[in-house]
Structure 1
Amino acid sequence: MSETSGTNGTGESAGPRGPARPLPAAQAPFDAIGLSRRLLRGIRSGALATLDADGTPFASLVTIATDVDGTPLMLLSQLSSHTRNLIADPRCSLLFSAGGKGDPLAHPRLTVAGRAARTTELRARERFLARHPKAKLYADFPDFGFFALTPEAGHLNGGFAKAATLTRDELLLDLAEATALVSGERGAIEHMNADHADALALYAASEGAGPWRLTGLDPEGMDLMAGDRTARVTYPEPVRDMGALRKVLVVMAAQARAGGPEAQP
């Protein structure tokens, strides 16, 4: 390590000339990208920071889902200050905080900064309502609309002495070769929820008893819910089409029944 640069073993660069700075995710001594993506997929509500007309930061609580690639999705009312702020200036950030017992600062959290805009994509609606079923009661009110936050950067604090910065490409999945998986997602979810509840319980066994239902599929893993609890289950290897998905789900279920290694949420 040089006198003025290097790392202190905690995921931050260190040096006597200034405060420690988070390392890029690729250089962090822990799986910063994997942890960030789990937070993106697993957290259902967070703090949205927008800018008032005079530039004053304004933070509010919103519910969150994700698109297939991990893009954060929100359902917002035009009567809300944060929505008016986004329409005037789309720059914003979202805080995803895992929370838990004890010191809140000991648990991982992720800040995603970017620009949010209204979306009329049917998939955004389906994915959000799958994650927040009660929102169906007001999703079609005339003042409500779905918004997608296009990430530009991320900042991860993984707990004590774990920090990293992330790029857009590190936060989101590349779907270029996963067209078949994306187009078949809704049918696969309906099939799994209707006919394979036993397998879903096996996949999410480490998160406790269900009943678990599938809310989303993507090339890296699946998102499940039981009441207000969520589980993120990753595959042993990425999948790009429905054939590969079926094979990996069969293997995961067999391993779980045998008490063998499982993909971990």
Structure 2
Amino acid sequence: MKIPAHAPLHLLHSAAIGTLATHARQPEGFPYPSVLPFAPDPQHRPTILVSRLAEHTHNLHADPRAGFLVVDAPDGDVLNGQRVTLLGTFEPVDSTPAVVQRYLRYHPDAERYLALGDFTFWTMRVERLRYIGGFGAMGWLAGTELDPVPPLEIDEETALIEEFRGRVTDASEFELLGIDRYGADLKRKGLRTRFAFDAAGLNIETLRAALQACIQHYAN
């Protein structure tokens, strides 16, 4: 069936939490679901911050294969809302300054967990995904189909975020969390939102213009 262009990608940027399903060690082989926050990495893959003591972390060490479910049903009607199920493997990620800064933009409260020294980042390598966006809008995609375009470099994203901050008059009400070639993740008056671009921004000039359109959209 037909899937709207980039719909799964935008959904992964719209939600703040997901359901992680790992393989239980005891009782062996059963699905073990956990709800936890995540942030999309530059390739739109879920990045999670988990305690080394957590059961799902132990499960991932034993078997990194997992499912990850993301749902957006703002009116409470889950069956008519968007959801995407990702299948793949989770891999530990080094806590580099770039990884930490990006995650904290999405989840600033996580800084207290990082201070404990017990938490580590893991990112999902997506092999397959199934998107459901309502009647007639569903289907399977390979992980490589999520986004075939090279991701925005970290330094390019950082520069665009700084430029954005310089253009916004009230940063307390309007904060840019992340930007990619298809849209911008924002926090506006404390609420998370996604601004989808009209077309993919394949260069910095196009992305600057898209961000300006974003600012004008929310300023009116």
User: SS state of the match for residue 11, structure 2?
Assistant: helix
> SS at the partner of 1:243?
helix
Match of 1:37 in 2: 9
Indicate the residue corresponding to 1:206 in structure 2: none
Distance 1:77 1:250 in 2: 39
Change (3 A) 1:104 1:257: closer
Whether the 8 Å CA contact 1:40–1:70 is kept in 2: the answer is: yes
Match of residue 246, structure 1, among 208, 213, 216: 208
2:90 corresponds to? 116
CA drift at 1:245: 2.0
2:47 touches 2:123 (CA, 8 Å); kept in 1?
A: yes
**5 Å matches for 1:8-27?**
11=1
Asked if the contact 2:177–2:185 (Cα under 8 Å) also holds between the matched residues in 1, the reply is: yes
- Is the contact between residue 52 and residue 85 of structure 1 (CA under 8 Å) also seen in structure 2? yes
Matched, 1:96 2:70: yes
Deviations 1:91-119 (A, max 9, x none): 00110010222432221111011100110
Greater C-alpha Rg: 1
Question: C-alpha separation between the residues in 1 aligned to 2:155 and 2:81?
Answer: 35
Q: Which has the higher contact order (CA 8 A, sep 6+)?
A: 2
The partner residue of 1:149 within 103, 116, 124 is 124
User: What TM-score, normalized by structure 1, do the two folds share?
Assistant: 0.74
Identify the match of residue 167 of structure 2 among 170, 193, 196: 196
Deviations 1:69-102 (A, max 9, x none): 2011000001110011011110001100102224
Does the CA contact (< 8 Å) of 1:109 and 1:157 recur in 2?
yes
Structure 1: gaps (5+ residues): 1-10, 12-27, 201-209, 260-265
Match of 1:70 in 2: 44
What displacement does 1:34 show? 1.9
Q: SS in structure 2 opposite 1:156?
A: strand
1:207 alignment partner in structure 2: none
> 1:236 is matched with which residue: 183, 187, 198?
198
What are structure 2's unaligned runs of at least 5 residues? none
Which amino acid is the alignment partner of residue 216 of structure 1? G
Q: Is the 8 A contact 2:92 2:122 kept in 1?
A: yes
Q: Supply the AA of the counterpart residue of 1:36.
A: P
In the alignment, the residues of structure 2 paired with residue 105 and residue 257 of structure 1 have an alpha-carbon distance, to the nearest angstrom, of: 30
**Structure 1 vs Structure 2: percent identity of aligned residues?**
28
Equivalenced residue count is: 217
Q: Which amino acid aligns with 2:209?
A: K
For 1:199 and 1:119, the matched residues in 2 are separated by: 34
Deviation at 1:252, TM superposition (A): 5.3
Distance 1:83 1:190 in 2: 35
TM-score by length of 2: 0.87
Root-mean-square deviation over aligned CA pairs: 2.5
